[in-house]
Amino acid sequence: MNGTTFNQLVVFNTIVQEGSITKAAQSLRWPHRQSVMH
């Protein structure tokens, strides 16, 4: 794996983590959505 690929993976992981944080925030704002998903 070269440096460019590694950097792309880091960016991708960051985006995924930000998406997870956004979903978590939405669950806190709209608890009824979380109950629907379970």
- Tens of pLDDT, residue by residue over 24-35, are 887 777 665 555
Kindly write down the DSSP assignment for every residue of 6-31, as one continuous string: HHHHHHHHHHHHHHHHHHHHHHHH-H
Q: Which two tokens stand for residue 38?
A: 């379970």
> How far is Cα 1 from Cα 26, in angstroms, rounded to an integer?
36
pTM metric for this prediction? 0.46
- Tens of pLDDT, residue by residue over 10-28, are 989 988 888 888 888 877 7
> How far is Cα 20 from Cα 26, in angstroms, rounded to an integer?
10
User: Residue 6 above 60 pLDDT?
Assistant: yes
